[in-house]
Amino acid sequence: MTLVANPLLPGTYPDPSICRVGEDYYLVTSTFEYVPGLPVLHSRDLAHWTQVGHVVDREGMLDYEGLASSGGLYAPTIRHHDGLFWVVCTLVDQTDPTRGGNFIVTASDPAGPWSDPFWLATAGIDPSLVVDEDGRMWVHGTRLVAEPEWPQQTEVWLRELDRSSMRLVGPEHVLWTGAVRGAVWAEGPHLFAKDGRWYLLAAEGGTEFHHAVCVARADHVTGPYEGYAGNPVLTHRHLGHGGDVVGVGHADLVEAVDGSWWAVLLGMRPYGGYHHNLGRETFLVPVTWEDGWPVFAPGLGRVPHEVEVPFAEPTAPAGVPQVVPGGPVLPGDPRWTALRAPVTSVATADGDGWLLPVRPSTLADATTPAFLGVRQQHVDVDVRAVLDLGGLAAGESAGLVVRQSERDHVTLMATPGGDAFVVRAVHRRGGVETVLGETVVRPVDGGLTLGLRVRGQEYGLVVEEAGDDVVVAVADGTTLDSVATGGFVGLWLGVVATSAGRPTDSTVRVERFAYDPLQPLDR
């Protein structure tokens, strides 16, 4: 018997979806504008997870160009049927609703390769898949109601998928508009069959503080669905802003090998006030069934700090863990991401580091800058990057970044100036840049060591000189999370290089990038 710590996946791993194939469990989450997209994680016991690949992992598979932060890939669903893994997802462009849409990809191996997308002629977000007792596959999802009774009222629709043509066929069925009248965004729908009935699991209240999990059931997959009198079946909104986990919702169910039921869902952990810099994370709760309805976290009614998984192994299996464990993050680590393009399109692995060609674009541009980063997964963490900046030209710069979006981020950048570098800390807040501090450093052999010293909501920006750390500035983390800035993502920590719009053929070598949490699990 093993106690599993929540969150199951710390850092920005939102909108989890899960399926079981034999004794193996597979899970995917949203990734928005970060590439590779949609990480695929594998477990044999629901407790220990390793990443086996990504669904969107190659150039040209999807067009991300121009997608603003918190656009991109929303709310995937993973299912398995007839020897194939299926992922259905939405590409969202918040500035152009005519671009993108819902798509399906398939693979015989969850590690990939995945097919090119099959686009579905339907509107909305959060698509899901289910196969009925006759072997028919149904797509369902969420969209705004054409003539709503209240603002942001949505409905869950259902339509059959013809797998030979990958097209939606037959009549459309509207299944659900939410458990609570006036509640916004009945979304994240998933259908399940159990004991001769069909169950519709959905979130509502918006993926923020009022988020909740609700359920309805029907005798037929097409409905009609009746809501459970006990809805919502899980929420933390009644706990107030002081709750240790908030925004609980967007759940998916799985039946384990032993017949027990479990839910994965998202939530946020506030700290330093009502701020959640780590973003929306994946949590695990047990589910039982009473009187034909699911009971989430029975006897407790909330997401626990630890979950007892009777069949879990006491030690983690070999493989890449889902949490950055501390120390150098090497090029082969699947947690590296770039913006709107694969990592290999942005940088080249070079031993334990990277060759990062400088690009004209900056972090303020909704394009692909010379950026590599990993999720912030711990409240207290030290990040250190050793950079060889000898190849930078005048006016170019490279350094570390705490990234929320194009409009909101903090950088610690080094710019060459004679035999020294000007190291400047800048906070871009709401699109307006403010210099927090600067210093002049004379590097050794063109190399420079920059660091982030994150302690709760204080983001210390440091540079090493003559073996000592010089604090250039301290940024306020409460201005960087999605509560302060909007959007749907947590923070990324990484390296960036730019020529600030000028043509360039310069290259920066990232000799080392280390991520060292003060406490390895910090949950």
Tens of pLDDT along 354-412? 999 999 999 999 999 999 999 999 999 999 999 999 999 999 999 999 999 999 999 99
**Same-domain status, 192 and 76:** yes
**Looking at the predicted structure, is the pLDDT value of residue 414 above 50?**
yes
Q: Give me the catalytic one of 15, 45, 281, 388.
A: 15
Shared domain for 364 and 237, answered yes or no, is no
State residue 521's pLDDT score: 55
Residue 215 lies in a domain: yes
Which of these three, 249, 279, 309, is where a domain ends? Answer: 309
Catalytic annotation on 15?
yes
Total number of domains in the chain: 2
Whether residues 352 and 285 fall in one domain: no
The 8-class DSSP code of residue 393 comes to: P
Domain-embedded: residue 241: yes
Strand 167-176 with 187-194, pairing: unpaired
Same domain as 340, residue 288:
no
Query: Residue 462: inside a domain, yes or no?
Result: yes
Could you give the CA distance from residue 216 to residue 480 in angstroms, rounded to a whole number?
37
Whether 281 and 147 map to the same domain: the answer is yes
- In this prediction the pTM is 0.96
In a domain, 317, yes or no: no
Q: For the ranges 9-18, 235-244, 436-445, which has the lowest average pLDDT?
A: 436-445
Largest CA distance in the chain: 76
In which band, very low, low, confident or very high, does the pLDDT at 523 lie, cut at 50, 70 and 90? Answer: very low
Q: Which residue range(s) make up the domain with 450?
A: 327-517
**Measuring CA to CA, how many Å separate 125 from each of 4, 172, 185?**
31, 16, 10
3-state secondary structure labels for all residues of 35-61: ECEEEEEEECCCCCCEEEEEEECCCCC
Among residues 281, 309, 337, which one ends one of the domains?
309
Same domain? For 305 and 333 the reply is no
Which residue of the set 33, 57, 160, 187 is catalytic?
A: 187
Q: What is the CATH number of the domain that holds 258?
A: 2.115.10.20
Residues 290 and 353 in one domain: no
Residue 319 belongs to some domain of the structure: no
49/51 Cα distance (integer angstroms): 7
Do residues 303 and 332 both lie within one domain? no
If asked whether residues 250 and 356 sit together in one domain, one would say: no
Range list of H helices, 273-327: none
Mark whether 297 and 372 lie in a shared domain.
no
Please state the φ and ψ torsions of residue 83, each to the nearest 5 degrees: 80, 0
**Residue 318: inside a domain, yes or no?**
no
Among the candidates 309, 338, 362, a domain finishes at 309
Residue 209's nearest CA partner among 245, 262, 169 is 245
172 a catalytic residue = no
The answer to whether residues 255 and 361 belong to one domain is no
Q: Which residues pair with 375 in a beta bridge?
A: 492
β-bridge partners, 450: 385, 463
The whole-number average pLDDT for the span 195-205 is 97
Query: 267 and 345 share a domain?
Result: no
